[in-house]
C-alpha cells in the first residue's frame, strides 16, 4: 500500500473513519453526527480534494478499502498562519454551533500561530486510521510521505494525548510553553529530522 491523493470516491470512507475516530460527546458537539454534520464534513473533505484548494488529502487503501488518511497544508509565511477559514473549512451549516467550531479551531490556530507564525512549514491538520487498521504503521507511512513532499520545510501538528508517543517516534517534539488547546498538544518536527 502506497500513499496516494484522495479522490471524490474516497470521501464517504473518509467521513466514516472520521465518525469512528472522533465519536465522543465533545466532537459530536462540534461536528454533529447528523445529516447536517455529515453534509458539512463531506463538503470540507470534497473541497480538500480539489487541487485549487490549499489542502491535500493523502490516503492509504487496498482492495478492502481505505485504511488511513492525512490532511495537510503548506504555510508559506511570512505572515500569520492561515486560520481554519483560510485553510478552506466551510462556514458551519444551520444547526451547527459557530461558537463550538471557533472554540475547537481557535485554540489550535492560536498555538499553531505562536509556534510557527511567519515561518514556511507544512501543517498536518488531521490524521486518522480506521480502528481495525491501527498499529500497522499506516499513520507513520503517511507522515513520512508528507515529510518527503515538504520541500525542506518544518512540519507542525496538534496531537491528541494518545498519539504523542507516535509522533515523537517520527521526530516530532512537543512545543513547550504555548499549549492553548485542552485537547491538542502542539508538536513540531524540524526539516533536518
Q: Each residue of 133-155: pLDDT tens digit?
A: 999 999 999 999 999 988 889 99
Please, what are the domains in the chain? 4-189 (3.40.630.30)
pTM above 0.85, yes or no: yes
Reported confidence tier of residue 80, pLDDT bands at 50, 70, 90 = low
Range 20-36 burial, b when 16+ CB lie within 10 A, else e: ebbeeeebeebbbeeee
Give me the mean pLDDT over the 20-46 stretch: 95
Amino acid at each position: 500500500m502506497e500513499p496516494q491523493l484522495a479522490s471524490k470516491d474516497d470521501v464517504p470512507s473518509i467521513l466514516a473513519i472520521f465518525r469512528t475516530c472522533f465519536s465522543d460527546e465533545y466532537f459530536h458537539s462540534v461536528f454533529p453526527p447528523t445529516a447536517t454534520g455529515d453534509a458539512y464534513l463531506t463538503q470540507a473533505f470534497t473541497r480538500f480534494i480539489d487541487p485549487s484548494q490549499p489542502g491535500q488529502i493523502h490516503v492509504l487503501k487496498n482492495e478492502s478499502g481505505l485504511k488511513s488518511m492525512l490532511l495537510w497544508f503548506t504555510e508559506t509565511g511570512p505572515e500569520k498562519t492561515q486560520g481554519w477559514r483560510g485553510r478552506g473549512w466551510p462556514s458551519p451549516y444551520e444547526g451547527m454551533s459557530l461558537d463550538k467550531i471557533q472554540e475547537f479551531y481557535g485554540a489550535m490556530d492560536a498555538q499553531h500561530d505562536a509556534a510557527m507564525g511567519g515561518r514556511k512549514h507544512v501543517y498536518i491538520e488531521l490524521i486518522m486510521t480506521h480502528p481495525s487498521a491501527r498499529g500497522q504503521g499506516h499513520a507513520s507511512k503517511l507522515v513520512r510521505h508528507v515529510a518527503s513532499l515538504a520541500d525542506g520545510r518544518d512540519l507542525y501538528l496538534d496531537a491528541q494525548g494518545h498519539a504523542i508517543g507516535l509522533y515523537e517516534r517520527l521526530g516530532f517534539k512537543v512545543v513547550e510553553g504555548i499549549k492553548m488547546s485542552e485537547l491538542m498538544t502542539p508538536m513540531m518536527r524540524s526539516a533536518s529530522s
